[in-house]
Structure 1
Amino acid sequence: MKPKPGRALTVVMVLLTVTTGMIEAVSFLVLGPVFAAVQTGSLLLLGFAVAGTAGISITATAASLAGFAVGAVGGSRAESAIDGRGRRWFTAALVGEGLLLSASAFVVWRIGIERSGGPVDGRHLAAISMVACAMGVRNVTTLRVKEPGISTTVVTTALTGLLVVLHPLAADSRVGSGAGEESRRLSSILAMFSGALFGAWLLDRSVHPAVVLAVPAGLVLALGLALSALPRERTSVPG
């Protein structure tokens, strides 16, 4: 069963976008530099690293891509299997992602990654792979949900659509407009920025990276459990 469209789903997707900003703050500023959710960035960084650019690790970006692939494939199979049984795959996906992120935060805590800088070693690769795996699940979930204007992991399309629709010199009705559409796009952009800002602010004030990562982990897990506790007819529709 797929999630029921409406304001509640939009709010959940916006909150997930906030978590992406926080997760990437930890990933890029502490574990990498590398991206866990925005794999376009990882591909670019891998190209830079192969070209010999200093400060960018080939192994770190490769670990992120590999972890993401495992999460995407595994998440797709799991969600399809749950859907095939007529159950709520969206809530299960959120709980699974939250558990993966929680485990990642625990690993970061246990292996002692506390600050940015220094060479990327096996500890970093393990943490990067786990976080990217969770984000692979997230991206599959987002593709299945198909919430207009909110992808939760990238905002380029939302930003482009907002600019094209709102700017008088670029108005294009074929992009899709309307108060709801524009509101979702703007919310997506602000959510990503706010998450990144908050995550970087916490890290700048010496909050342990595991704690910063635990915040989005807890939020995603809480959303999944809260939706699971609600009656099926309030959160899901057939299809």
Structure 2
Amino acid sequence: MEENREAGRAAGPRRLPLLMPTLMIALTVVTGVVEAVSLLALGPVFTAMQTGNVLFLAFGAARVGNLPALAAAVSLAAFVLGVVCGARLEALTEARGKRWFITGLIVESGLIVAAAAAGWGLVPHYGSPTDRHLTVSAILALAMGLRNTTILRANLPGVPTTLVTRSMTAFLGGAAMGRGNVFGFGTSRWALRGLSVLAMFAGGFLGALLVRAGWTVNWLLLPTAAVVLVVGLSYRAEPRLHTDQTSGREGPA
């Protein structure tokens, strides 16, 4: 019996490296779908990749390009609120010895459901967003701000789930330099970076096809909420995340 307990303890840590990358890739696909909905059905506006919104605001301030600065400002403000609330909730949850990763994803799923409810029956529309379009994009940005806090706690290098620029750079840099380089060419982490780029593409491609097919906003978002919830529940039996990570520090991508 003692040997069985030892075997169980040894098996526990090994499951985490196999499970977490799969969950992070699934969340990256979700981000691609959400950004397709935000950009093509609600905007143009980003809800996860806030670099785009910062540039939209810059172009709008310069009065060049006729881009909708209001939608970008609303999304950016909601994203900031999501990050701040996520950080506070994370601290409270971890202080009680609970797993923020699970709680964060459950809350994110609920926010996406709320966005779907706000956009129930709303037909995708690109350009000149209405108040309902702005409301849905704000709720999604709030959810994505929360997601970024959640992923920082997960601290899985190479799969930030809401952007792929660094992952793509490390993946292509490793391929160009070959083995023995700082990008870890040929390792599982290097492969994971490539998968994260493909996952973002797949999510964006799927979301764009569904928008083109004329799906209303609620049906575009409800499946993504379900995926996020499943990801959170899939992690519930795993060991609690380490709480000794430096707050706000991101692992190497």
The question of whether the paired residues in 2 share the 8 Å contact of 1:18 and 1:191 is answered with: yes
- What residue is the counterpart of 1:84 in the other structure? 95
Instruction: Calculate the TM-score normalised by the size of structure 2.
Output: 0.85
Query: Hey, what's the Cα distance between the residues in 2 that align with 1:165 and 1:172?
Result: 9
- What residue is the counterpart of 1:19 in the other structure? 30
Offset, 1:59: 1.1
Given the alignment, which residue of 224, 237, 245 partners 1:216? 224
Offset, 1:224: 1.5
Summarize the Cα distance change of 1:171–1:157 in structure 2 as closer, same or farther, 3 Å threshold.
Answer: farther
Spell out, residue by residue over 1:170-228, the C-alpha distance to the aligned partner (whole angstroms, 9 max, x if none).
87722344421111101100100000000000111111122111111111012223333
Compare relative contact order (CA 8 Å, sep 6+) and give the higher one, 1 or 2. 1
Matched, 1:236 2:240: yes
- What residue is the counterpart of 1:143 in the other structure? 152
Matched, 1:161 2:176: no
The question of whether the paired residues in 1 share the 8 Å contact of 2:183 and 2:190 is answered with: no
The question of whether the paired residues in 2 share the 8 Å contact of 1:164 and 1:172 is answered with: no
Given the alignment, which residue of 88, 106, 128 partners 1:95? 106
- What residue is the counterpart of 2:128 in the other structure? 119
User: Structure 1: which amino acid aligns with 2:208?
Assistant: A
Counterpart mapping for 1:166-181 below 5 A: 166-168=175-177, 173-181=181-189
- What residue is the counterpart of 1:66 in the other structure? 77
Instruction: Calculate the TM-score normalised by the size of structure 1.
Output: 0.90
Summarize the Cα distance change of 1:54–1:121 in structure 2 as closer, same or farther, 3 Å threshold.
Answer: farther
Show structure 2 runs of 5+ residues with no match.
Answer: 1-14, 244-253
Spell out, residue by residue over 1:77-135, the C-alpha distance to the aligned partner (whole angstroms, 9 max, x if none).
101110011111110111010001111111111xx520223522221221111000000
| Stretch moving more, 131-140 or 213-222 | 213-222
Show structure 1 runs of 5+ residues with no match.
Answer: none
Percent pairwise identity: 38
Question: SS at 1:236's partner residue?
Answer: coil
Higher Cα radius of gyration? 2
Spell out, residue by residue over 1:45-92, the C-alpha distance to the aligned partner (whole angstroms, 9 max, x if none).
111222224452111000000100110000111011100111111101
